[in-house]
Amino acid sequence: GAVVSQHPSRVICKSGTSVKIECRSLDFQATTMFWYRQFPKQSLMLMATSNEGSKATYEQGVEKDKFLINHASLTLSTLTVTSAHPEDSSFYICSARDNSAGWVNQPQHFGDGTRLSIL
Amino acid sequence: QQQVKQSPQSLIVQKGGISIINCAYENTAFDYFPWYQQFPGKGPALLIAIRPDVSEKKEGRFTISFNKSAKQFSLHIMDSQPGDSATYFCAATGGGNKLTFGTGTQLKVEL
């Protein structure tokens, strides 16, 4: 099955640090990747949609200068949390969708998430 | 109109019983309805999905029932096992757009 690898799985760092999270599709090419944020016992909140070779589309209320997304290849998207503060602490999850098969509703496959803790 | 309402918020089922989780949507443009299973500290994993041209889909112990006229769909887990204890999310999407998730159901299967 389709595998999405997310790295690192856990980050603990000081306030003011920038943190980069990688999301890779291991056995398929992902033209579209998604970044979510999840708070404890809550649902997934979509932050942004990234398409390979173009700028990411951010959801309303998500600061694009705070959460930098780069989708430079068909298998890699990165999320950089710039100048992170304690309120940015959360569980960040990426997903990838393979549209190459021609079916517009190919399922999204999720990574295992990154637990970000800002001290 | 983009909401997907999910119930119950939590569910306790005895081993061997049937777990039932319900979802309702409003956007008639939705045409793909996946269910995801999430264990603590992990990302969601696709469990089963359905398109609105069928009323039921079964994969092993998991069944989706779909009622297009009522704009409702549900997940049934037959012969529930302790290993099924997890959080379950329904979702919906249309036209290849972003997923809209339900609020999640925390399932606990007791021995």
Mutant choice from B4, B23, B46, B57 vs A, greatest count of A C-beta within 10 A: B46
Mutant choice from B99, B103, B106, B107 vs A, greatest count of A C-beta within 10 A: B99
How far is residue A74 from each of residues A24, B46, B51, measured CA to CA in Å? 9, 21, 27
Q: B47: closest CA among B56, B37, B38, B57?
A: B37
Tokens of A9: 């799985």
Cα dihedral A9, A11, A16, A20, rounded to 10, equals -30
Q: How far apart are CA B85 and CA B108, in angstroms?
A: 5
Determine the pLDDT at residue A29: 87
Å from B19 to nearest chain A CA?
A: 19
Determine the pLDDT at residue B71: 95
Mutant choice from A7, A39, A43 vs B, greatest count of B C-beta within 10 A: A43
Determine the pLDDT at residue A51: 87
Q: Average pLDDT, stretch A28-55?
A: 91
Instruction: Tell me the one-letter amino acid at B86.
Output: A
* DSSP at A107: P
Cis (ω within 30 of 0) for the bond into A8? yes
Tokens of B71: 């704009």
Determine the pLDDT at residue A100: 65
Residue ranges of chain B whose pLDDT lies below 70: 1-2, 96
Determine the pLDDT at residue B19: 98
CB spacing of A105 vs B32 below 8 angstroms? yes
Determine the pLDDT at residue B1: 54
- A50: nearest CA partner in chain B: B98
Determine the pLDDT at residue A110: 94
Q: Average pLDDT, stretch A85-91?
A: 96
Q: How far apart are CA A9 and CA A43, in angstroms?
A: 19
Question: Is the confidence at residue A103, as pLDDT, over 60?
Answer: no
pLDDT band for A2, please (50, 70, 90 cuts): confident
Selected residue with higher pLDDT from A112 and A1: A112
Of B31, B41, B44, the CB nearest to A110: B44
Burial class (CB in 10 A: 0-12, 13-18, 19+), B32: buried
Inform me whether the C-beta atom of residue B101 falls under 8 Å from chain A C-beta atoms. Answer: yes
Chain position carrying tokens 């999840």: A38
Å from A111 to nearest chain B CA?
A: 6
Determine the pLDDT at residue A98: 74
